[in-house]
Structure 1
Amino acid sequence: MSASTLITVATTGAESTKQDVPALPTTLEELVETAQRCEAAGAALIHVHVRDADHRPSLDVARLRDTVAALREATDLVVQLSTGGAVTDSFEARLAVLDAEPDSCSLTCGTTNFGDDVFLNPYPFMRDLYLKARERRVVPEFELFDLGHVHALGRLLRECGLPHGGAVHCDVVLGVPGAAPATPESLLACVAALPPEVTSWSATGVGRGHLPIMATALAAGGHLRVGMEDNLLLARGVPVEHNAQLVERAARLAELMQRPAMSTSQARELLHLG
């Protein structure tokens, strides 16, 4: 069990609209301000989706490059770009995310129902993304929405070897409608099935599963992902006003469990970022 806790903040996502959630950081200025506050609160890694001038999800590589540069200038956070984008984005556009040269990228290990939509991640695309990330020296975070995704991760590692740096970090994402539920039982089943190459893992509970998954992950030796991409309520009927609130709560719980929040330098060491 790690003596400290990696806290990832997933600030924006691709699902919620600015009109419905005005507090969502969708401009570059809002994202940088959010990153600075979240780093001060205990986050060491930021998971990034960007939006265009109309606040719609975008995989424009120039916009992604500007975002990576701005976050590096303003913070010491590990910058991770989403290669999931929105469910309508093409495989080509998702692969091109790596051209923005982030520290890390997400890599979802299988197709899943996503509410009324389908989030497509066929194995050949997973492999192409994995190999391109290694070629570009970008460290992947393997996103696991279901037990079958854990199996697919094992296959990928067996067939393609270790990623850049040699560390294998994954995030178990639970509670997406159509995928595994956000329960302690689901999390522990996925963790028990992780391939032996995995060096660290975190967990995300979407919506009302946020707190049970956070508590279970800490008790089981895992790390945490929080943020407005996954959870818009601080408590029943109490909307999140800023991502920093969710990071602060995660840091308090980690401290209580005697696994305090990791520094950014410790996060880089954990992920073998150099």
Structure 2
Amino acid sequence: MGDLLITVAPTGAETTKADCPQLPTTPEELVETARRCEAAGAAMIHVHIRDAEHRPTLDPARLKDTVAALRESTGLVLQLSTGGSVHDPLDQRLKVLDAAPDSCSLTMGTTNFGDDVFSNPWPFICELYQLSQEREVVPEFELFDLGHVAALHRLLDKYGAPYGGKVHCDLVMGVPGGMPGTADALVAAVAALPSSVTSWSATGIGRSTLPVGLASLSKGGHLRVGMEDVLTLSRGVPVEHNEQLVSRAVELGRLAQREPMTPVEARGLLGLA
């Protein structure tokens, strides 16, 4: 049985297709990426979508079509980003759950995001969380800083457990404006997590990908990888396909004597029906 959840985040909202032609932005590219990453060892996919001009979008019809296409083509746990792009309004971000994903990201606070601000005010967090409970969508709590860990304590104390009863979070590390992508920061964040957390993963942005991944494995955590978070395999060597990042995560896991979970095993970990 697998004991390592590998999530692939193939696209994101920041990188342009013009700057990175191999980024999967069309529905066909996303499905092809999902299939190959599932075969390589991913069990969950974290999805941002683009419009016909490859720009970030939260178009409801396109979200529903993407969920349907991925469900038809793969067995992956489907997680939609409720962050969208940093420019998306809060009301549109709430409507992401109308597409009925298995899971959704739920960021636990506002953070500086490079030169931009990723807005997640407390009333929005509470509304999104209660909506996920009502819609039976499992949230993945995204934690960009130690203040977000404290906010997770507050949210769970106020509204109780998520749908499914499991509490899964992801430490997003190395974003300019958030906590650094270091082993020391990861250890501090994990030590501060609520006792009700049942599983956690870590994401290292850019050059912090490998340090964060190795630290996560050593602490018993899971991994999120993908071209949303890093575009190079090493200095000057671009990623050509998300499958490469998933395969590397599998290899690192096996060095730590951990095997990748299947999507069925991941559903059990996350409390999905």
**When the two structures are superposed, what TM-score results if normalisation uses the length of structure 1?**
0.99
Taking the aligned partners of 2:3 and 2:270, their CA distance within structure 1 comes to: 14
Matched, 1:26 2:25: yes
Task: Report what 1:12 is aligned to.
Answer: 11
Paired position in structure 1 for 2:64? 65
CA distance in 2, matches of 1:61, 1:135: 19
Determine helix, strand or coil for the equivalent of 1:171.
strand
Whether the aligned pair in 1 keeps the contact of 2:172 and 2:205 (CA below 8 Å) is yes
Q: How many residues align?
A: 273
Quote the offset at 1:78 in angstroms. 0.1
Paired with 2:208 and 2:86, the residues of 1 have a C-alpha distance of 22
Q: CA deviation at 1:134?
A: 0.6
Distance 1:202 1:236 in 2: 25
The one-letter code sitting in structure 1 at the alignment partner of 2:178 is A
Q: CA deviation at 1:255?
A: 1.1
Task: Tell me which residue corresponds to 1:77.
Answer: 76
Partner SS for 2:170:
strand
Question: Residues 1-274 of structure 1 correspond to what in structure 2 (within 5 A)?
Answer: 4-274=3-273
TM-score of the two chains, using structure 2 as the length reference: 0.99
Secondary structure of the structure 1 residue equivalent to 2:42: coil
Specify whether residues 42 and 3 from structure 1 end up closer, same or farther in structure 2 by C-alpha distance, changes over 3 A only: closer
Q: Which runs of 5+ in 2 are unaligned?
A: none
Task: Report the AA paired with residue 24 of structure 1.
Answer: L
- Report the Cα offset of residue 4 of structure 1: 1.2
CA distance in structure 2 between the partners assigned to 1:209 and 1:201 by the alignment: 18
Give the letter for the 1:29 counterpart.
Answer: E
Q: Which amino acid aligns with 1:262?
A: M
> Alignment RMSD, CA only?
0.8
1:25: Cα distance to partner? 0.1
Q: How many angstroms apart in 1 are the aligned matches of 2:29 and 2:178?
A: 31
User: How much does 1:8 deviate?
Assistant: 0.2
Counterpart residue identity of residue 100, structure 1: A
Structure 2 letter corresponding to 1:28: P
Provide the rounded CA distance (Å) in 1 between the counterparts of 2:89 and 2:186: 30
Letter in 2 for 1:35: A
Could you tell which deviates more after superposition, 205-214 or 3-12? 3-12
The superposition leaves residues 38-67 of structure 1 with CA deviations (integer Å, 9 ceiling, x where unpaired) of: 000000000000000000000011100000
Q: CA deviation at 1:130?
A: 0.2
CA deviations over 1:127-156 (Å, ceiling 9, x no partner):
000000110000000000000000000100
On the 8 A contact 2:2/2:265 being kept in 1, the answer is no
Matched residue type, 2:76: L
Spell out, residue by residue over 1:209-258, the C-alpha distance to the aligned partner (whole angstroms, 9 max, x if none): 00000000001000000000000000110000000000000001111111
Secondary structure of the equivalent of 1:105? strand
Alignment deviations for residues 91-111 of structure 1 (CA, whole Å, 9 cap, x no partner): 100000000000000000000
User: How far apart in 2 are the matches of 1:70 and 1:188?
Assistant: 38
User: Identity rate of aligned residues, in percent?
Assistant: 68
Q: Is the 8 A contact 2:111 2:117 kept in 1?
A: yes
Q: Which amino acid aligns with 2:134?
A: E
